[in-house]
Amino acid sequence: MKIAFLGTPEFALPSLEMLAADGHDIAVFTQPDRPKDRGHGLAMPPVKLIAIANGLPVYQFSRIRDAEGVAALRGFAPDLMVTAAFGQILSAENLSIPKYGCINVHGSLLPKYRGAAPIQWSVVNGEKITGVTTMMTDIGLDTGDILMQRETEIGENETAGELYMRLSVMGAALLRETIAALEDGTLTRTPQREEDATRCGMIKKFMAQIDFSKTAAQVHDLVRGMNPAPTAFTLLDGMPVKVYETAKCPDIECDHSCARIGECVIADSKRGLFVKCSDGLIEIRELQFAGSRRMEARAALNSRNMLGKVLGQ
């Protein structure tokens, strides 16, 4: 099948590689190259790198809705358009081009978590179950008919980054099934229930600040959901401290009844670092102080006295 593939980050790679391996005639549309960190030249989108490695034609547009993007899609004349974390809203004109419409691979069980960063938000919100959805794209934001879905459990300590990679692979497998059903005429469409819909926005850096007045479970979920980026953080004496890994510890033996919210009630290299939350303690296992390297908390406590310190100030 002749497929226009629209995608940008790592989430899209398994789907693109699957389509190439299955022998489809593919043209890749992705975002423009972006400046690297600290201004060291330009970085290609991950999808572009894989497209080049597979000898696929690549088109890059800041706005595929514009005349040049529409013309490039029309010139390729795809039977089907596939999107996976493309990062742009398609126009009705874009969507009218392919014969069979546009299939999107989405990292949630729609209609929950429509919009940006559904994987991170599912972890931050403490969801136990998530999954992937293939859907027909329309002009709304993730509002099109559901084609297929697959569920998976979210591990208690699984990070958003780990879940992201798992769902990207699941999404590719589900996309293969969806296209096979399209080709043999068995694909069905199910309208989304608007009353069940939830929206999620982009993750902003300020959202990653830890609020120790929340429960230990909520703090743990925030840290997991912000890993690897933008990374959860707190303050120590006014300086930022990144927090990469935590653990819930309901059975730790320690009288913390008089401790302040955010107080380091246990802080030694043998037992570790335990901080007061609204309902008990949370263990910080891996962190990074300003101007220092990422390290295990126990190792950091060899040279830092944090007992009685209050995080978040």
Residue 248 inside a domain? The answer is yes
| pLDDT beyond 90 at 313 | no
Residues 241 and 273 in one domain: yes
- The CATH number that applies at residue 48 is 3.40.50.170
Residues 78 and 166 in one domain: yes
Whole domain around residue 53: which residue ranges? 2-200
Mind listing the pLDDT tens digit for each residue in 168-212? 999 999 999 999 999 999 999 999 999 999 999 999 999 999 999
| pLDDT beyond 80 at 250 | no
Mean pLDDT for the stretch of residues 254-258: 77
297, 285 Cβ separation under 8 angstroms: yes
Identify the burial level of 218 via C-beta atoms within 10 angstroms of its C-beta, where 0-12 means exposed, 13-18 middle and 19 or more buried. buried
Residues 182 and 143 in one domain: yes
Tally the domains of the chain. Answer: 2
C-alpha of 200 from chain center: 12
Backbone angles phi, psi at 284, to 5 degrees: -95, 120
Residue-wise DSSP of 43-78: E--HHHHHHHHTT--EEE-S-TTSHHHHHHHHHH--
In this prediction, residue 294 carries a pLDDT of 97
Residues 214 and 183 in one domain: no
Q: Which distant-in-sequence residues (6+ apart) come within 8 Å of 220 by Cβ?
A: 246, 247, 248, 282
Domain closes at, from 165, 200, 235: 200
Residue 305 inside a domain? The answer is no
Residues 107 and 212 in one domain: no
Mean pLDDT for the stretch of residues 24-36: 95
Residues 27 and 83 in one domain: yes
Residues 224 and 184 in one domain: no
Residues 123 and 218 in one domain: no
With a threshold of 0.85, does the pTM exceed it?
yes
Residues 100 and 37 in one domain: yes
Q: Which helix (H) or strand (E) holds 15?
A: helix 13-21
Which residue type sits at 32? P
In this prediction, residue 39 carries a pLDDT of 65
In this prediction, residue 257 carries a pLDDT of 77
Residues 93 and 29 in one domain: yes
Residue 312 inside a domain? The answer is no
Residue 220 inside a domain? The answer is yes
Mind listing the pLDDT tens digit for each residue in 297-307? 999 999 899 99
Domain closes at, from 170, 200, 230: 200
Which residue type sits at 228? P
Mind listing the pLDDT tens digit for each residue in 208-219? 999 999 999 999
Residues 219 and 168 in one domain: no
Domain closes at, from 168, 200, 232: 200
In this prediction, residue 251 carries a pLDDT of 67
Residue 313 inside a domain? The answer is no
Residue 311 inside a domain? The answer is no
Residue 172 inside a domain? The answer is yes
